Chain A
Amino acid sequence: MNTDLLVIGGGIAGITAAVEAAETGREVVLVEKQHQLGGRVLQMHKYFPKLCPPVCGLEINFRRIRQNPKIKVLTGAKPTSIEGVPGDLTAIIHVEPSYVKADFTSGKGVENDCPVEIADRFNFGMNRTKAFRLPHELAYPYRYVIDEESAHDPAMKQFIESSGIEGVDLDMQPEDVEVKAKAVIWATGWEPYDANKLDHLAYGRLPNVVTNMEMERIAAVNGPTKGKILRPSDQQPITRAAFVQCAGSRDENHLPYCSAVCCMASLKQSRYIREQYPDAEIHIFFIDARTPGRWEDFYQEVQDDEKTVIHRGKVARIEEAGNGMVTLTAENTLTGKLEQVSVDMAILATGMVPTVAVDAPPIKINVDEFGFIQNNGTSVVVGAGVATGPKDVASTNEEATGAVVRALQMMTGK
């Protein structure tokens, strides 16, 4: 197919770029590797600082996509090659099968009887889910999918045959689609830093040590506990929780840079807990509290909460304390004294790793030493969102809109 703009990555950056370009009258092909749009923001429970649900903004954007014939969306799709020069680029997009045809309708909900279950990756494996499902309540495209690994499971085949569900094709094959475009926006976002590398923080060893992204899912109404925040080890309520800032960030042994959003994310998550548990105590361990601009108001509000204690210092270790509790030890950067707190749950504020660094693009892109795209005119593509540097959703949307202008310039050769 021919288009003006090819957007790689269907998270909030890619969606914004695609919609803004289409509303400027350009043809757009938006490519997303998952079987639905939304990326990381779809996994978020709330946005800071308004504590509003990300699905609200996504719904407006999905509505804009639905009503705009200039946008084509390819999901389950990744580019395998991109060649050419700005103004004349050819990409091959590999599209994985979803095994469910577009005209499958939910019917009476027979798919709910699917016996094949898999670890729910959307919830970071904290629960199991039907292998035949709508990927999300708000999924765009509104289309059921069957996971690759389950499509070839004999139990799935038997279920489809015995239940008489129509619109499923377990023999569906992947296909390669050629897209000719004038410009490409690269908005492949980020992966959470692997907390398993943080041995001193006991992630993976102690069930009550979770990451900030896991916390988003735990708090979400469609998360593993239907939004009820509970201690993972025994599903008990939270009396005390701690946030470990810069877990692997600003650390030469892990991520030397700061991920820019984790301070606000943890402050926001402290509110999730406090809203559910009016008596719970929160401890936040900062090196520096980074809440730039008007976000400072949010930090001030959290500081006004008498149940929230701000500690100055980087957590050195987390250990089991018995009874499901975990003990955090930190050196106070001001006093040099060791501080210890025992909590039901420790949340690690882990940082962002650019996807470009872990999943190499099929085209040369100029990046910095960490893998963030440098938008300095030396690449064939324009970067947008966290692909160019750690940032929050507001900054991502700002940049993604601006990226369209850069792409327009590439289209016209300026």
Chain B
Amino acid sequence: MEAKTGVYICSGCGIKDSCNVEAIAKMVEDELDVELCKVDPLVCGDECVAGIKADIEAAGLDHVVIAGCSGRYFSDRFKFGDNVLIDRVALREFVAWTSDPQADIDDIEEVIQEQAEDYLRMSAARMKYSEAPVPMDVEETSRDIMVVGAGVAGLNAALAAADAGYKVTLVEKEAELGGWSRKFKTVIPQAAPYREPQAPPHTELVKAVNDHELIKVLTSSTVTRTSGQPGQFDVTIQNGSGEEKLRIGAIVQATGWLPYDPTRLADKYGYGRLPNVITNVMMEEMAAAGRIARPSDGAAPKAVAIIHCAGSRDREFLPYCSAVCCRVAMKQALYIREQMPDTDVYLLYKDIRSPGVFEQFYARVQDEEGIYLTKGEVVEVVEDGNGGVSVTLDDTLLGENITVQADMLVLATGMVPTTLVETDETDGAETEEKPAEESPGDGDEKSRAAGAETGANILALTYRQGTDLPTLKYGFPDSHFICFPYETRRTGIYAAGAVRAPMDMGMARNDGLGAALKAIQAVEAFPLGRALHPRSGDISFPEFFLQRCTQCKRCTEECPFGSLDEDDKGTPEPNLLRCRRCGICMGACPERIISFKDYSPNMISQMIKVISMPEEDDERPRYLVFMCENDALPAFDIAAWHRHKISPWVRIIPVRCIGSVNTVFIADALNGGFDGILLLGCKRGDDYQCHFVRGSELANTRMENVQEKLLQLSLEEERVQIHEVELSDWDRIPEIINDFVEEINDIGPNPFKDF
């Protein structure tokens, strides 16, 4: 069906001072395939908006172009229903506020006019080759939530979801619910006045979970297979009585932590080497059982030392801090004092970490007699002759060592996430997975997500990219952990508790609640075909024209979210409910067979094609900028608001993610005569800011390949560049663009220009 497009050009906000708006309108009417074109001094005003609505009604418009301010502004005013596709042409930001009529360029007014008119041409092409998305057909989905792991995080998640009215299946591998809480005598204080250890929280939680009519509890059970997609996960659970198959909507993974392996600490801290060296977990078990005694002879110790960072904060062992060990050590010091009021306790620490209001607990422990705090790095742990332990601390500032004698030594070892996969080649601190090396089209091996290749196999996903959640360094699930901590790279699966980051039980409780909310959102959004984070509410989805697929597997390898599986031949099998709608698969596909209704390779190629292309002799170069709409584009809007100027030779195409830029677009642009192409995307690497995690990384690899090809064609590789920008880079963006233009201007025009 032919698009019926109405174009509304705003002359306000300085637009009419930068270009001839009436002439643009005339060009639109004369040259472009549109139903109508109107100019208004305030398109965002009530009057004009009402007029647009009337036109939609009267002329049957299904596409509306608003040429005025950036689409980030006043979007609430331009809402015309799901059937009308809207394009916002940022004449204000791309032209009016950033063009410089004083620039030292011949016929500058004409050049700016050309720029403004090109944006209208590009918009008309966009409209012609796209249509309003309609939600995907979603077959029946489940609103049930599965929580894996019944520690404090999992129990809270299960209860929260059930209390909100959702059916929950709680899967626990042990015979009883409660996780670590069940094994602890007390937990560190969580409520005011934060001074005394509290009863472990699981007792009430377990009762509430067992009594809840919406929670089904499966103990001694493990997940052996998870296939499908959010809303439609098919989960197989194995337990003593056999197998159980469930249809699940969303998953909370709250599988917690394991103690750092103390046998690695034999040399440095004496574990396994000396009989009276135990871990904090063993101390907890002893205390919970009722009697603290030294292992060698069962005697009550007269002096106990506790090393706070036994293996933690140590690049040789566990480089990070486990966040709770200091407070656990202090709590255990109180156990010792309670049972044996005459026993001295030495707390040997690097830094006391009792953050926030938990400083109150530290203050209380300092008030306790018989507890001595000593700061220093442990040099060695040896037997002292009487079955006791002698710990030597290095004090570099004093220039001498201190020795502490004790009958028993407790090692406060750290927490390791259950998602950590240890590989054969490495051990100890080196166990963290290397970041995934996902180079496009570079074979299967490199493209597997970190931690997923062998997999901790907790959820046993049947995903093409691996069995588990992709992980960060140290094995914690990968996420935008500052802003959106629960979002993993597997849609509909949310990590909670100590599997996600080392944390205490108070935080684990909050985490369980938060992850439960995310799971609830998922089961509500997916039946409607709506995306969640980060393109919340988006109903568009990729369509695959598989008849032309060459089974190159790039899409299935590169999707950061593991959306695509493969059949035996390597043809992609889309799982649309896993999709985040970034378009990275669209950018990956060399055959251009992946399209969204409102975002497609053809649409972008057509937009490139309609841009005016002066001949070489005219000395009017053309540069194309693909700009990430998440960070670069808002930064550009702000640069424009500051009235920073950019070269009038530039044409900007906003993209969903720089990873959705297909190398075909680059070829199109170079063949079409563009002198240079610039990609502006988010930061990549370990501290990535890419909203779709891998998009900017993948784009970078693709552009490196393009640059190689350019060299083979005897073209300058500088003609195609990718730059990282942050949202706060609004002062830098014009500079980056202008420097690029200048650099290529110096090189000279694209030799393909007049072909």
CB atoms of B691 and A394 under 8 A apart? no
What's the nearest-Cβ distance from chain A to residue B408, in Å? 25
From B481, B511, B536, B630, A64 is in contact (CB under 8 Å) with B536
Given the complex, which residues of B lie within 8 Å of A295, measured CB to CB?
321
> B355 near A390 (CB under 8 angstroms)?
yes
The yes or no answer to B516 lying at the interface (CB within 8 A) is yes
Is A215 in the interface zone, CB < 8 Å from B? no
**B67, CB-defined interface residue at 8 Å:** no
Given contacts A335-B397, A404-B517, contact A53 B727 (CB under 8 A): yes
Q: Contacts of A369 on B, CB cut-off 8 Å?
A: 192-193
Are A52 and B537 in contact (CB-based, < 8 A)? no
The distance from the CB of A122 to the nearest CB of chain B, in whole angstroms, is: 15
Q: Which residues of B contact A163 (CB under 8 A)?
A: none
Interface membership of A113, Cβ < 8 A: no
Using A107-B12, A334-B395, A368-B357 as known contacts, say yes or no to A297 and B319 having CB atoms under 8 A apart: yes
Residues from chain B with Cβ under 8 Å of A3 in the complex: none
Contact of A293 among B320, B354, B634, B726 (CB under 8 A): B320
CB distance from A371 to the nearest CB of B (A): 11
Q: A292-B323, A394-B482 are in contact. Are A59 and B355 (CB under 8 A)?
A: no
Q: Which of A68, A137, A260 contacts B537 (CB 8 A)?
A: A68
Contact B517 A24 (CB under 8 A): yes
- Chain B residue, CB-CB nearest to A60: B534
Residue of B nearest to A312 (CB): B397
Which of A235-243, A251-259, A271-279 has 4 or more CB atoms under 8 Å from chain B?
Answer: A251-259
Interface flags, A220-231, vs B, CB<8A=1, else 0? 110000110000
Q: From DSSP, what is the main secondary structure of chain A's interface residues?
A: loop
Chain A residues with CB under 8 Å of B76's CB are 66
Q: Name B501's closest neighbour in chain A (CB-CB).
A: A293
Nearest neighbor of B376 in chain A, beta-carbon distance:
A334
Q: Which listed residue, A289, A390, A398, A400, touches B356 by the CB 8 Å rule? A: A390
Q: Does A374 contact B (CB under 8 A)?
A: yes
The answer to whether B728 and A55 touch across the interface, beta carbons within 8 angstroms, is yes
Which of B481, B518, B631, B641 sits near A401, CB closer than 8 Å?
A: B518
**B359 CB–A CB distance under 8 Å:** yes
The one of A20, A25, A57 that contacts B483, using a Cβ cutoff of 8 Å: A57
**A258 to B194 alpha-carbon distance, docked (Å):** 13
Chain B residues contacting A402 (CB-CB under 8 Å) are: 160, 509-514, 516-517
Q: B353 touching A60 by the CB < 8 A rule?
A: no
Q: Does B485 contact A (CB under 8 A)?
A: yes
Tell me the A20-65 residues at the B interface (CB within 8 Å): 20, 23-25, 45, 47, 49-53, 55-57, 59-60, 63-64
| Least CB distance, B410 to chain A, in whole angstroms | 20
**A98 on the B face (CB < 8 A):** no
Q: Which of B40-48, B550-558, B612-620 contacts A (4 or more CB under 8 A)?
A: B40-48
State A237–B73 Cα separation when bound (angstroms).
Answer: 39
A221 and B730: CB pair below 8 A? yes
Is A412 close to B, CB under 8 A? yes
With A and B bound together, what is the CA distance between A368 and B45 in angstroms? 50
**Looking at the complex, which one of A106, A226, A296 makes contact with B319 (CB distance below 8 Å)?**
A296
Q: Are B355 and A292 touching (Cβ within 8 A)?
A: yes
Which B residue's beta carbon lies closest to that of A142?
Answer: B73
* Smallest CB separation, A64 vs chain B (Å): 5
Q: Could you tell me the distance between the alpha carbons of A134 and B638 in the complex, rounded to whole angstroms?
A: 12
Q: How many residues of A contact B (CB 8 A)?
A: 85
- A328 vs B509: C-alpha distance in the bound complex, in angstroms? 42
Q: Are A293 and B323 in contact (CB under 8 A)?
A: yes
Contact segment of B30-38, B180-188, B299-307, B519-527: B519-527
Neighbouring A residues of B319 by C-beta, 8 Å: 296-297, 300
Report chain B residues within 8 Å CB of A368: 192-194, 357
- Most chain B CB neighbours (cut-off 10 Å) among A51, A290, A333: A290
Q: Is B237 an interface residue (CB 8 A)?
A: no
Q: Which residue of A lies closest to B502 (CB)?
A: A293
At the interface, yes or no: B689 with Cβ under 8 Å from chain A? yes
- Contact assessment for B630 and A59 in the assembled complex, using a CB-CB cutoff below 8 Å: yes
The reply on A126 being an interface residue by CB < 8 A is no
Q: How far is the CB of B502 from chain A (nearest CB, A)?
A: 5
Check: A108 CB closer than 8 A to any chain B CB.
yes
Q: Does B13 contact A (CB under 8 A)?
A: yes
CA distance A47 to B480 in the complex (A): 12
Whether B715 is near chain A, meaning CB under 8 Å from some CB there, is: no
Smallest CB gap from B509: residue in A: A402
Interface hub of B353, B502, B638 (most chain A Cβ within 10 A): B353
Contact with B along A326-349 (1 / 0, CB 8 A): 000000111100000000000000
CA distance A44 to B417 in the complex (A): 31
Rounded to whole Å, the gap between the CB of A23 and the closest CB of chain B is: 5
A395 CB-CB contact with B under 8 Å: yes
* A45, A286, A291 interface centre (most CB from chain B within 10 Å): A291
In the complex with contacts A64-B536, A105-B44, A293-B323, A335-B398 CB distance below 8 A: yes
Question: B397 contacts which of A227, A259, A334 (Cβ < 8 Å)?
Answer: A334
Q: Are the C-beta atoms of B163 and A66 separated by less than 8 Å? A: no
User: Which of A55, A391, A397 is B484 in contact with, Cβ under 8 Å?
Assistant: A397
CB distance from A321 to the nearest CB of B (A): 25
- The reply to whether the CB of B507 lies closer than 8 angstroms to some CB of chain A is yes
Q: Which of B46, B75, B511, B517 has the most CB of A within 10 A?
A: B517
Q: What is the minimal beta-carbon distance from A317 to any residue of chain B, in angstroms? A: 21
Residues of B within 8 A of A333 (CB): 375
B360: chain A residues within 8 A (beta carbon): 256-257
Residues of chain A within 8 A (CB-CB) of B510 are 398-399, 402
Cβ of B728 and Cβ of A103 under 8 Å apart? no
Determine the chain A residues whose CB is within 8 A of the CB of B375 once the complex forms: 312, 333-334
**A59-B630, A68-B536 known; A109+B351 contact, CB < 8 A:** no
Q: Mark B156-176, 1 if CB is under 8 A from A, else 0.
A: 000010011100000000000
Give the shortest distance, in Å, between B683 (CB) and chain A (any CB): 7
B17 touches A412 (CB 8 A): no
Which B-chain residue is minimally distant from A166 (CB atoms)? B42
* Closest residue on chain B to residue A399 by CB atoms: B510
In the complex, per-residue mask of A121-164: 1 if CB is within 8 Å of any chain B CB, else 0: 00000000000001001100010000000000000000000000
Q: From A45, A142, A296, give the contact of B321 (CB < 8 A).
A: A296
**A37 to B63 alpha-carbon distance, docked (Å):** 33
Expressed in whole angstroms, the minimum distance between the Cβ of B504 and any Cβ of chain A is 10
B191 close to A (CB within 8 Å): yes
Contact A52–B689 (Cβ < 8 Å)? yes
- Docked-complex contact A258 and B355, CB < 8 angstroms: yes
**Is residue B363 contacting chain A, with contact meaning CB distance below 8 A?**
yes
Residue of A nearest to B687 (CB): A50
B476, CB-defined interface residue at 8 Å? yes
Q: Cβ of A60 and Cβ of B483 under 8 Å apart?
A: yes
Besides A257-B359, A376-B191, 20 more A-B contacts (Cβ < 8 Å) are A23-B521, A52-B482, A64-B536, A67-B536, A105-B44, A107-B13, A257-B356, A258-B354, A292-B353, A294-B474, A296-B313, A296-B321, A334-B397, A369-B193, A372-B357, A389-B357, A393-B483, A402-B513, A402-B517, A405-B514
Q: Can you identify 9 A-B contacts, CB atoms within 8 angstroms? A: A24-B517, A64-B536, A67-B75, A257-B360, A296-B320, A297-B319, A368-B193, A401-B514, A405-B514
Report B's interface with A, CB cutoff 8 A: 12-14, 17, 42, 44-46, 69, 72-76, 160, 163-165, 191-194, 313, 315, 319-323, 351-360, 363, 375, 395, 397-398, 472-474, 476, 480-486, 501-503, 507, 509-514, 516-518, 520-521, 524-525, 532, 534, 536-537, 630-631, 634, 638, 641-643, 683, 687, 689, 691, 726-728, 730-731
Per CB-CB distance, the 5 closest pairs between chain A and chain B, nearest first, are A402-B513, A368-B192, A401-B514, A57-B483, A53-B728
